């Protein structure tokens, strides 16, 4: 009887350790970094983007609709301090275990302003007693050395992560989606971020026009060599009213037709080949259904997608990096 009980406990422990070790999660990374639960608060500090204000372009990336990604408390005309307070209040009930927060400057390009202006914008976050760090979401072409030096100076006092949108490593795709920068620009930014010992994050989209899963399973070899600490993946979500919606309606065949089930199979294939030192923050995106146009998965929460991904890992008995080819 005692022996059977021992076997049962061993099997529970083995299953549990499989669940928690299928991939290196950003949540685990934060737990290691801060020793307690830390929650990200999204801030819209009223930045714009060089691909919107005319300095590089006026129409933006073909898929871009920032309103679709912002939570309701996050409105740019509110002062940053007020957004932080309201964000803490909003998350308090949902994540009771969170004691401290990261201010996530997400909307548009959060390093696209003069240095003195940046200092003014980031000050309320840096001085807030419950903010343990900042995450700066930006474009790789908005990271001049003097700004990175400023962020490196801040990193002496608090956690600073620079998160850049790379989206694709293929220049023909970056061109097609009107990013107005190439992959080399992202590489250069990442090297300068790492030279200052800042946390480097990157964002990729799977499903951009003329790309296929076979291509991404090749691209992962290049992604694995990037000087990254964390990474986010999104399936392409086509937002109403965007240039990409028009392109999809004209030529749907140029978009890979991911269903949720085929995406799950693919993303596990991809992560099996992914550098295991990269903390994964997201496997898929979630946009309020009212923004979604064609080719979407309907109303589905991210935690449901995540559970399905974990199940696929369990079924295969694999984890991040088991099939890595460097």
Q: Which residues bind to ligand SF4, rule: CB under 6 A? A: 49, 51-52, 60-61, 64, 66, 108-109, 139, 165
Helix axis angle, 145-154 to 183-195, nearest 10°: 40
Distance between CA atoms of residues 258 and 270, nearest Å: 14
The residue among 88 and 121 lying less far from ligand SF4, judged by its C-beta, is 121
Closest CA to 135 of 33, 65, 255: 33
Q: How far are the Cα atoms of 74, 80, 122 from residue 105, in angstroms, in the given order?
A: 10, 10, 9
Query: Kind and range of the H or E element at 151?
Result: helix 145-154
- For the record, the structure tokens of 13 come out as 């422990």
The residue among 51 and 295 lying less far from ligand SF4, judged by its C-beta, is 51
Distance between CA atoms of residues 34 and 6, nearest Å: 35
- For the record, the structure tokens of 123 come out as 């000050």
* Overall residue count recorded for the chain in this entry: 326
The residue among 164 and 310 lying less far from ligand SF4, judged by its C-beta, is 164
Bridge partner residues of 103 (DSSP): 41, 134
The residue among 21 and 76 lying less far from ligand SF4, judged by its C-beta, is 76
- Taking the alpha carbons at both ends of the chain, their separation in whole angstroms is 48
The residue among 51 and 235 lying less far from ligand SF4, judged by its C-beta, is 51
Distance between CA atoms of residues 41 and 197, nearest Å: 23
Could you count the other beta carbons within 10 Å of the beta carbon of residue 148?
19
Residue 114 three-state SS: coil
The residue among 108 and 159 lying less far from ligand SF4, judged by its C-beta, is 108
Q: How far are the Cα atoms of 104, 137, 230 from residue 26, in angstroms, in the given order?
A: 14, 16, 7
Q: What's the order of all strands across the beta sheet hosting 38-43?
A: 38-43, 100-105, 131-138, 159-167, 199-206, 230-235, 279-282
- For the record, the structure tokens of 207 come out as 């499903």
The residue among 49 and 190 lying less far from ligand SF4, judged by its C-beta, is 49
The residue among 108 and 151 lying less far from ligand SF4, judged by its C-beta, is 108
Cβ at position 59, least distance to ligand SF4 in Å: 8
């Amino acid at each position: 009887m005692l022996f059977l009980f021992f076997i049962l406990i061993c099997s529970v422990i083995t299953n549990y350790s499989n669940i928690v070790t299928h991939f290196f999660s950003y949540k685990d990374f934060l737990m290691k970094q801060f020793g307690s639960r830390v929650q990200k608060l999204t801030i819209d500090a009223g930045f714009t983007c060089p691909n919107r204000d005319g300095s590089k372009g006026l129409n933006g990336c073909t898929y871009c609709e920032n309103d679709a990604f912002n939570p309701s408390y996050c409105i740019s005309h509110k002062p940053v301090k007020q957004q932080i307070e309201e964000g803490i209040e909003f998350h308090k009930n949902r994540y009771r275990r969170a004691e401290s927060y990261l201010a996530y400057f997400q909307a548009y390009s959060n390093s696209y302003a003069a240095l003195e202006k940046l200092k003014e914008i980031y000050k309320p976050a840096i001085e807030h007693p419950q903010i343990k760090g900042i995450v700066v979401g930006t474009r790789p072409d908005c990271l001049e050395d003097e700004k990175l030096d400023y962020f490196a100076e801040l990193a002496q006092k608090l956690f600073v992560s620079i998160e850049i949108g790379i989206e694709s490593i293929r220049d023909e795709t970056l061109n097609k989606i009107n990013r107005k920068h190439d992959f080399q620009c992202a590489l250069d930014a990442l090297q300068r971020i790492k030279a200052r010992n800042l946390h480097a994050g990157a964002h990729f989209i799977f499903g951009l026009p003329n790309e296929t899963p076979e291509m991404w399973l090749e691209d992962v070899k290049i992604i694995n060599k990037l000087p990254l600490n964390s990474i986010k993946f999104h399936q392409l979500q086509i937002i109403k009213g965007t240039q990409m919606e028009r392109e999809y309606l004209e030529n749907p065949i140029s978009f890979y037709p991911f269903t949720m089930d085929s995406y799950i199979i693919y993303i596990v294939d991809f992560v099996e080949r992914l550098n295991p030192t990269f903390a994964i923050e997201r496997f898929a995106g979630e946009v309020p259904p009212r923004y979604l146009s064609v080719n979407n998965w309907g109303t589905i929460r991210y935690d449901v997608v995540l559970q399905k991904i974990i199940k696929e890992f369990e079924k295969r008995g694999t984890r991040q990096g088991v099939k890595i080819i460097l």
